[in-house]
Each structure stands twice: as structure tokens, then as C-alpha cells.
Chain A
């Protein structure tokens, strides 16, 4: 074996990575807006993911693991939680981060598996619309929620939570 063998090595096996044989279209283009969008998306998935672990674990623990657990979840339970601005903000943050994180994940999956351009456009349009509707609906529900509902005559509904009697 001579030292000239190592020079000829790439032709015998695979070339070393980054040996200038990468198609330019796969290289990072700092001037391209699409690559900076994908980079922002990559960072967002990690930052929002870490936040969602805390937000959702606390959500599950408080709603299912303490008190009566799942039997305690009813209209009065939601009303009691959203009487506190901290839980309103908690649920709002969870809603936005989870829908954007999940929406971006679904976008990645559509890009991976939908090979026809028209199929991709359709699926991503439906996805964008669904995510937008859910975020807007959820946000409106959190901010316009009225725990002590009344009927047309101004009478408190029978099913209103007990604390409404004292308001």
C-alpha cells in the first residue's frame, strides 16, 4: 500500500462530505427569503415545543390529576379557571403556540408526502384555513366568555355556576 492510495480513495468509496459536490440549490442562501423562513420555522418548533411541554403538562395536571379529576370538569370549572387572568393568559398562549406548532408540523408532512403541486396547494390551503379558524375562535371564546349567562328577561340561567348568585 502506498501513500498515493489515499489520494485516489474518493473514487473507490464515497466521497468525504462537503467535498464541493453539493448541488448549489441545497446550499444556504442568506439572501433568499424562503430559507430564512424555514430557519425561523425550525427555531420556532424548538422554542414553542419546549414552552408547550410546560404549558400542557400543567394543564393536564390541574384539570385531570387533582380534585375530582375528570368528573370535576364542567362549565363551572371552566368559569372558575377563566375568572383568573393568569389561566386566561395560560390557555391563550397554549392555544396559539399549539396551533402554530401543530400547523407547521402538518405543513412539513404535507410537503413530504404530497408530490403533486396542486395537491400540496389544496392541502396547505385547508390547513391554513383550519388553523386560522381555530385560533380566532379559541381567542374569541377566551375573551368573550360570560360565566353568568342570563336569558332574554335578564334572569340568571338555572345552570349558571353557584358563584353567580352572589354577583
Chain B
């Protein structure tokens, strides 16, 4: 049997996935408050909604959107991993491998999302 040095949890995959889940969760929560408020402007007037939603269509916000979607995709895949750890009989044995799967899927999805989002943005962008 191999001896594990130090601790099983602190500083290892289990802890870092937990830290990542917390930070992305808090970020998504605060975006959600803002997002419901900006969408609510459809009840004020079309101009008010279009003016505020227009703020999402510049290069700095595009980077912010990629960051936001990155947080959502990590939180989503790692959340599914947590469900498997809890309910799949072999979940605790393979929790590390599942974290690498989460990271791999995250990279694939984010390459696809970023490429498509930037391409569509540049297509319709009128410049500064």
C-alpha cells in the first residue's frame, strides 16, 4: 500500500475543486442579480433595455462574458462531479479522475464557446 504524504484533503484535488466551486458560485450569484435587473428594463421601455444591453457588446464586456461562461461551465461540470461522488457507488474512488475529466471538458467547451462568441462579435461589431 502506498503511503500518502501530508494530508488527504488540504492542498489536494478535493480542496481545490471545493475552492473553485465556491468562487465561481459567488461570482455567478452576483452576476445573476445584475442580469435580472438589466432584463427587467424591458418593462421600462425598448430604448432603456437596448441601451443597457448594448453595454454587453464591446470588447471588454466580451472578455467578461467569456469569464462568466467559464465560471458557469466549471461550476456546472464540477457540480455534476459532486453529484456522482455522492450518488455513484464508485464516486469517491474516482473523484480525482473525474476532476481531470471536468477540466478536460471545460477546455474543450471553452475553446468552442470563445471561438464562436468572438467570431460572432467581430462580425457585427461597428468598431469603437
Residues of A participating in the B interface, judged by any CB pair closer than 8 Å: 46, 49-50, 52-53, 56-57, 60, 64-65, 68-71, 73-76, 78-79, 95, 98-99, 102-103, 105-106, 109, 130, 134, 137-138, 140-141, 144-146, 149, 157, 159-161
Contact = CB atoms under 8 A, between A and B. Distances in A.
Interface of B: 22, 25-26, 28-29, 32-33, 36-37, 39-40, 42-43, 45-47, 49-50, 53, 56-57, 62, 65, 69, 72, 76, 79-80, 82-83, 86-87, 113, 116-117, 120-121, 123-125
Given A69-B117, A70-B120, A130-B33, A60 B69 contact: yes
B72 A60 contact: yes
Given A52-B76, A105-B26, A105-B29, 5 more contacts: A49-B83, A65-B113, A69-B121, A70-B56, A130-B33
**Max chain A C-beta neighbours (<10 A), residue from B36, B56, B72, B117:** B36
A46 B88 CA distance: 13
Given A71-B124, A138-B40, A144-B43, A78 B49 contact: yes
Given A70-B57, A75-B50, A144-B43, A64 B124 contact: no
Given A50-B83, A70-B56, A138 B36 contact: yes
Contact of B43 (A65, A68, A103, A145): A145
A163 to B, nearest CB: 13
Contact of B49 (A57, A75, A95, A138): A75
Contact of A64 (B22, B39, B45, B117): B117
Contact of B116 (A65, A74, A130, A144): A65
6 contacts: A49-B76, A70-B120, A71-B57, A138-B39, A141-B39, A141-B43
Contacts of B79: 49-50, 53
Contacts of A103: 29
B76 A57 contact: yes
Nearest to A157: B46
A71 B120 contact: yes
A157 B80 CA distance: 46
Nearest to B118: A69
Nearest to B113: A65
B36 A137 contact: yes
